[in-house]
């Protein structure tokens, strides 16, 4: 419905009341501003009641104003470039206002993810990952940090984790050549979706591996080859993808797996602590101001002693 948004509104214009025509005209002329307005704000701008705005949305065939606004947002996204959208939203904003707006937007996405994430799919994902012989993870471009983060902690929990690193499709298949029905594949991708990740998921599916997707919508192409879909909101009206909600889902996966395998996690961490201590891994890399004196002070004290 979003693609025919303006055409649908124009078609019904002659049958609208005076107030409804006022709303329709304002949206047609100022859609780049209206897309960010609540029903109350739009009503206040036009000097009409919030309930009139809500009834306008219902008259157009939407369940309520939120659904109407989402359709308008989708239409606007198709009209403006990323840079234009960011300019429209943040024009005239102070740095403090931009900070507040972005953080609030991220919180909204986490809230929406909590409300819509399938708990059964989450439980299934945890079991698949823990039971798999080997886990392959793919995340391209802005999703690469998410893949790295998940890979880092999965290696602590269970081992046998492959984070696919390449810019070539052929090399992707080479790294996955031994994937089988005993393995799992996790594909992480958000708009704009990665064809390389999609093809890797198709290959994993053809080899009968258990495929998990972490993406933004059930309509995402990433869901074509996955049997378990974890959905997290990521859209943002700017040039920057918001990956806070997907990262929170990954955090939840890691915690859930730790709780299912506490003994193994404890053993891995204990082994790592021994390695770090024996080989002084963090001697010149991290400074702990609580438990020990900063390493930076040591050379100065030696000079004083002399």
The highest-level CATH class for domain 118-260 is alpha beta
CA atoms within 13 A on the CB side of 15: 8
| Predicted confidence (pLDDT) per residue in 228-244, tens digit | 999 988 765 444 567 88
* Confidence (pLDDT) at 50: 92
Indicate the domain borders of the chain.
Answer: 2-112, 118-260, 264-305
* Confidence (pLDDT) at 96: 74
* Confidence (pLDDT) at 211: 96
| Predicted confidence (pLDDT) per residue in 1-59, tens digit | 334 677 777 778 888 888 998 998 888 777 777 888 889 989 999 999 999 999 999 99
* Confidence (pLDDT) at 294: 46
* Confidence (pLDDT) at 303: 44
CATH number attached to the domain at 2-112? 1.10.10.10
* Residue ranges in the chain modelled with pLDDT below 70: 1-4, 77-93, 95, 98, 167, 235-241, 276, 279-306
Instruction: Give the integer Cα–Cα distance in Å for 111 and 106.
Output: 9
Q: Whole-model pTM above 0.85?
A: no
């Amino acid at each position: 419905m979003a693609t025919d948004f303006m055409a649908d509104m124009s078609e019904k214009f002659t049958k609208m009341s005076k107030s409804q025509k006022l709303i329709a005209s304002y949206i047609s002329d100022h859609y780049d501003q209206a897309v960010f307005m609540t029903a109350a704000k739009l009503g206040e701008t036009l000097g009409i009641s919030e309930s009139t705005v809500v009834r306008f949305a219902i008259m157009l065939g939407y369940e309520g104003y939120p659904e109407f606004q989402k359709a308008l947002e989708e239409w606007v996204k198709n009209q403006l470039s990323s840079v234009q959208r960011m300019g429209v939203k943040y024009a005239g904003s102070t740095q403090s206002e931009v900070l507040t707006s972005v953080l609030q937007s991220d919180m909204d996405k986490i809230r929406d993810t909590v409300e819509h994430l399938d708990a059964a799919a989450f439980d299934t994902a945890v079991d698949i990952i823990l039971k798999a012989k080997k886990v392959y993870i793919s995340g391209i471009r802005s999703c690469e940090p998410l893949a790295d983060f998940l890979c880092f902690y999965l290696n602590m929990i269970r081992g046998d984790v492959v984070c696919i690193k390449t810019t070539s499709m052929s090399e992707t298949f080479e790294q996955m050549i031994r994937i089988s029905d005993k393995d799992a594949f996790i594909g992480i991708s958000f708009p704009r979706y990665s064809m390389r990740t999609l093809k890797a998921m198709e290959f994993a599916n053809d080899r009968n591996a258990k495929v998990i997707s972490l993406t933004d919508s059930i309509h995402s192409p990433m869901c074509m080859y996955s049997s378990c879909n974890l959905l997290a909101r990521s859209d943002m009206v700017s040039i920057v993808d918001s990956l806070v909600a997907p990262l929170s889902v990954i955090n939840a996966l890691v915690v859930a797996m730790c709780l299912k395998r506490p003994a193994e996690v404890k053993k891995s961490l204990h082994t790592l602590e021994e390695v770090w201590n024996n080989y002084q891994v963090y001697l010149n890399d991290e400074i702990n101001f609580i438990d020990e004196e900063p390493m930076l002070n040591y050379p100065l004290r030696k000079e004083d002693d002399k």
